[in-house]
């Protein structure tokens, strides 16, 4: 991995056996991510500022050059510090650090680092990431060139690469969800379809407000004349089983509610509007859903029948996770 940083700007090139597989750039305004091996790229304004850089930079996710600034990041805790020597013979202070705020369900999920600070310049010059037993799993060297070309932080998609503008797609999705695409109605049971999405792998996702499907997804989507490559699948958060998750999710920021729905992969992307037969459910408080402790965390819905949404043109997206806030799949902060 090669990383360049200048203040909040950064560029990262990840290569495997000398071949670039991912190229990420942040020009201070928008993050450009080119997934070279999959021939698609995304560009988006980070919603959580420097945290977006954190996910990209991994272990050394900060542009901090001093240990004091580094320790301000994500609940870092110094276990020990000791004087040592660098491979070039220079003196340094090695900081033994745990960092990262774990979810209460996984208290052991913290990262363990050695961070080396040059005794002469007081700058971070080296890091090592440790795994259980103290074995070094990854290491990096930090250099400080006198200047960095501004062009290195500008994103460019290679020829034949599909570019998704996430900012534009978020606006379209929010508009779609607010107004709704259509209303389903079967024997008095109703649901409002909020989104029909098609990702880069031809997985069609239909989401609605109203009674959610059950976790077994026994009633699939149906599209006359279109073949599916998979059975229904999806996130538990979109089903009546959402209460079985060890963590909770924030509701959709667009409709202030949790969505129901499912996904199925198509053999090929539709070239025009499609008619989708969507299962409709009603809330039924007769069959409880219990977790391993025997606590009731929800109730199964009752399937009523199918209704058809006609001439739908799915919004094409790279993946669901780029729209976590809109779709209500971002994890809620752990309880304090």
177-186 residue pLDDT tens: 999 999 999 9
Dist CA 239 CA 289 (whole Å):
11
Q: How far apart are CA 42 and CA 56, in angstroms?
A: 14
pLDDT at 219: 97
- Residue 150 included in any domain: no
Query: What is the span of the domain harbouring residue 29?
Result: 1-57
- For residue 100, what pLDDT is reported? 66
Distances (CA, A) of 31 to 61, 152, 199, 303, 316: 15, 13, 20, 43, 20
Residues 329 and 321 sit within 8 Å (Cβ to Cβ) = yes
Domain-located, residue 106: yes
What does the block give as tokens for 327?
Answer: 């779709």
265 with 225, same domain: the answer is yes
What per-residue confidence (pLDDT) applies to 119?
93
Q: What pTM was estimated for this model as a whole?
A: 0.78
Q: 119 lies in a domain?
A: yes
Averaged over 306-327, what is the pLDDT? Answer: 96
Instruction: Indicate the average pLDDT of the chain.
Output: 87
pLDDT at 132 over 80: no
Contacts with 98 (C-beta within 8 Å, 6 or more apart), sequence order: 76, 77, 79, 110, 111, 112, 113
**How big is the CA angle at 303 (ends 310 and 286), to the nearest 5 degrees?**
150
DSSP symbol at 314 = P
Looking at the structure, tell me whether residues 193 and 83 fall in a common domain. no
Q: Which of 96-100, 101-105, 186-190, 306-310 has the lowest mean pLDDT?
A: 101-105
Q: Is the pLDDT of residue 61 over 70?
A: no
The tens digit of pLDDT for each residue in 254-277 reads: 999 999 999 999 999 898 899 999
Is the domain of 34 the same as that of 92? no
Residues 37 and 95 in one domain: no
pLDDT tens figures, 75-91: 678 899 999 999 889 99
Q: Is the pLDDT score of 290 beyond 70?
A: yes
Instruction: Select the highest-mean-pLDDT range: 101-105, 144-148, 249-253.
Output: 249-253
Same structural domain, 35 and 72: no
Per-residue confidence band for 28, with pLDDT thresholds at 50, 70 and 90: confident
Phi-psi region of 163 (alpha: psi -120 to 50; beta: other; left: phi over 0): beta
The residues, ordered by sequence, that sit 6+ positions from 320 with a Cβ below 8 Å of its Cβ are 197, 199, 205, 235, 327, 329
Residues 75, 197 within the same domain? no
- Token pair for 192: 């409002």
Number of domains in the chain: 3
What is the separation of C-alpha 22 from the centre of its chain, rounded to a whole number of angstroms? 16
End-to-end CA distance of the chain: 36
Does residue 293 sit within a domain? yes
Q: Does residue 157 form part of some domain? A: no
At residue 195, does pLDDT exceed 80?
A: yes
In a domain, 99, yes or no: yes
Closest CA to 270 of 331, 207, 197, 191: 197
Q: Is residue 161 part of a domain?
A: no
Sign of CA dihedral 322, 323, 325, 328: negative
Specify if 158 maps to a domain: no
Supply the pLDDT for residue 146: 83
If asked whether residues 103 and 182 sit together in one domain, one would say: no
Tell me which residue has tokens 């669901």: 320
Same domain flag for 178 and 307: yes
- Are 221 and 317 in the same domain? yes
Question: Are residues 7 and 79 located together in one domain of the fold?
Answer: no
178 and 247 co-located in one domain: yes
Per-residue pLDDT band at 103 (split at 50, 70, 90): very low
């Amino acid at each position: 991995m090669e990383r360049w940083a200048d203040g909040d700007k950064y560029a990262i090139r990840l290569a495997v056996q000398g071949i670039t597989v991912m190229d990420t750039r942040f020009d201070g305004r928008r993050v450009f991510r080119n997934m070279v091996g999959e021939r698609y790229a995304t560009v988006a304004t980070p919603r959580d500022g420097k945290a977006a850089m954190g996910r990209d930079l991994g272990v050394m996710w900060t542009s901090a050059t001093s240990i004091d600034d580094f320790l301000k990041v994500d609940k870092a805790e110094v276990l020990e510090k000791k004087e040592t020597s660098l491979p070039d013979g220079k003196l340094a202070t090695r900081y033994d650090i745990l960092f990262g705020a774990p979810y209460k369900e996984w208290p052991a999920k913290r990262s363990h680092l050695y961070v080396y600070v040059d005794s002469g310049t007081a700058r971070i010059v080296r890091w090592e990431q440790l795994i259980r037993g103290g074995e070094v799993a990854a290491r990096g060297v930090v250099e400080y060139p006198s200047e960095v070309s501004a062009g290195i932080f500008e994103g460019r998609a290679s020829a034949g690469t599909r570019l998704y503008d996430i900012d534009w797609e978020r606006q379209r999705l929010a508009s779609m969800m607010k107004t709704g695409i259509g209303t389903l109605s079967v024997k008095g049971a109703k649901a409002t379809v909020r989104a029909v999405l098609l990702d880069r792998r031809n997985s069609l996702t239909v989401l609605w407000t109203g009674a959610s499907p059950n976790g077994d997804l026994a009633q699939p989507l149906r599209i006359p004349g279109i073949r599916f490559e998979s059975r229904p699948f999806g996130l538990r958060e979109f089903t009546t089983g959402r209460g079985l998750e060890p963590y909770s999710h924030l509701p959709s920021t667009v409709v202030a509610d949790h969505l129901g729905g499912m996904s199925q992969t198509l053999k090929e992307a539709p070239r025009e509007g499609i008619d989708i037969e969507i299962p409709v459910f009603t809330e039924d408080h007769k069959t409880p859903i219990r977790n391993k402790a025997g606590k009731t965390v929800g109730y199964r819905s009752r399937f009523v029948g199918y209704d058809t949404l006609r001439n739908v043109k799915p919004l094409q997206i790279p993946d669901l996770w780029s729209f976590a806030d809109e779709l209500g799949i971002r994890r809620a902060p752990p309880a304090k």
